[in-house]
């Protein structure tokens, strides 16, 4: 695979005697723009550059209508940019086929949504195993991967339960297990504490800290400044324009 623009810059900057082998950035957006044609046409995301390195924990904050969902859909390969380049884990997602984008989405991104999106008639273990199936993990490995992920979120004692019998915080932890069971390059969370009270929200955010400590790359979209403050890097989106806060 050819180097992404950020890695080409790193190579140019390195001294001849340096031997530097860097993993590609997890997210590298160059001039990514999203325009809805209308009429009237709306520029939901103005040309945006965003670099997220392996192991980063990034929060994206912004008020209602600022472009958070637009950015989430682009980051999660649920939508295509109107212009610009998006390298996900080194792969030029803006150039590849729809089929490859689907495979990238299932294999490289773990999603966590506000509303959990668990299947109510499947057990906790089955819910997590389904994600491993969509990611193309061999059948013989699926149960082991799912159980390991549920151990990671401290829910190994709930494997046979149905989601409807769990608390909100436990459901979200199942959703986090489902997201990490495929060993994604990126955990992408959309208002992950939006349906939780403050105590349970804290538990989910503690879990994100643990996963970050293990080296996972996280991007969390939220309107809640307290949730955003937990991340080591923060950007704000206002009227479709991204601004780095730290
Ligand atoms: N399909 C679409 N067609 C036209 N305009 C759209 C479309 N989707 C979003 N927009 C516009 O793009 C802008 C950004 O919308 P977006 O949904 O990304 O905001 P948001 O920050 O996620 O808002 P919220 O927090 O309320 O969900 C808004 O002005 C919205 O009206």
Cβ distance 82 to 33 under 8 Å?
yes
Instruction: Tell how far the Cα of 222 is from the centroid of ligand 1, in angstroms.
Output: 14
pLDDT of 1 reads 58
List, for the chain, all residue ranges whose pLDDT scores fall below the cut of 50: none
pLDDT of 44 reads 98
pLDDT of 87 reads 98
In whole angstroms, what is the distance from residue 196 CA to residue 202 CA?
9
Give the strand order in the sheet containing 241-244.
Answer: 109-113, 186-190, 218-222, 57-61, 233-238, 241-244
Q: Supply 146's token pair.
A: 């799912």
Q: Which atom of ligand 1 is closest in space to residue 237's alpha carbon?
A: 21
Q: Going from the N-terminus, what domains does the chain have, and what CATH number goes with each?
A: 55-78+105-245 (3.40.50.300)
Q: Is 61 in the pocket of ligand 1 (CB under 6 A)?
A: no
Work out the mean pLDDT of the chain and round it to a whole number.
94
- CA of 140: how far to CAs of 98, 136, 137, 163, 235, in Å? 28, 11, 8, 24, 41
In whole angstroms, what is the distance from residue 205 CA to residue 107 CA?
24
Q: Is 34 in the pocket of ligand 1 (CB under 6 A)?
A: no
Residue with CA closest to ligand 1 atom 11: 44
Asked if the peptide bond before residue 40 counts as cis, ω within 30 degrees of 0, the response is: yes
**pTM for this predicted structure:** 0.93
Q: pLDDT per residue over 93-130, tens digit each?
A: 999 999 999 999 999 999 999 999 999 999 999 999 99
Query: What is the complex's ipTM, to 2 decimals?
Result: 0.96
Q: Is 70 in the pocket of ligand 1 (CB under 6 A)?
A: yes
Q: Which residue has the tokens 């299947």?
A: 119
pLDDT of 113 reads 95
Q: Which of 45, 68, 81 has most ligand 1 atoms within 8 Å of CB, for mutation?
A: 68
- Among 127, 194, 134, 180, which Cα is nearest to 158's? 127
pLDDT of 38 reads 85
Q: Is 44 in the pocket of ligand 1 (CB under 6 A)?
A: yes
pLDDT of 7 reads 85
Q: Which atom of ligand 1 is closest in space to residue 66's alpha carbon?
A: 21
In whole angstroms, what is the distance from residue 220 CA to residue 192 CA?
8
């Amino acid at each position: 695979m050819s180097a992404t623009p950020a890695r080409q810059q790193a190579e140019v900057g390195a001294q001849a005697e340096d031997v530097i082998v860097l993993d590609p950035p997890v997210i590298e957006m160059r001039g990514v723009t999203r325009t809805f044609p209308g009429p009237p046409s709306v520029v939901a995301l103005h040309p945006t550059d965003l670099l997220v390195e392996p192991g980063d924990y990034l929060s994206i904050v912004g008020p209602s209508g600022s472009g958070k969902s637009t950015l989430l859909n682009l980051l999660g390969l649920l939508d295509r940019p109107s212009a610009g380049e998006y390298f996900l884990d080194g792969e030029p997602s803006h150039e590849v086929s729809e089929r490859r984008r689907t495979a990238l989405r299932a294999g490289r991104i773990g999603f966590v949504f506000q509303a959990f999106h668990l299947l109510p008639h499947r057990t906790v273990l089955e819910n997590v195993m389904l994600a491993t199936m969509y990611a193309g993990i061999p059948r013989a490995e699926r149960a082991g991967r799912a159980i390991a992920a549920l151990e990671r979120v401290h829910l190994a004692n709930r494997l046979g339960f149905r989601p409807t019998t769990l608390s909100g915080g436990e459901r979200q932890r199942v959703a986090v297990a489902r997201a990490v069971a495929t060993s994604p390059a990126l955990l992408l969370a959309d208002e992950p504490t939006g349906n939780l009270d403050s105590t349970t929200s804290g538990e989910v955010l503690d879990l994100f800290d643990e996963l970050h400590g293990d080296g996972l790359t996280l991007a969390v979209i939220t309107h809640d400044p307290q949730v955003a403050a937990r991340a080591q890097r923060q950007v704000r989106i206002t009227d479709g324009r991204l601004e780095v806060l730290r």
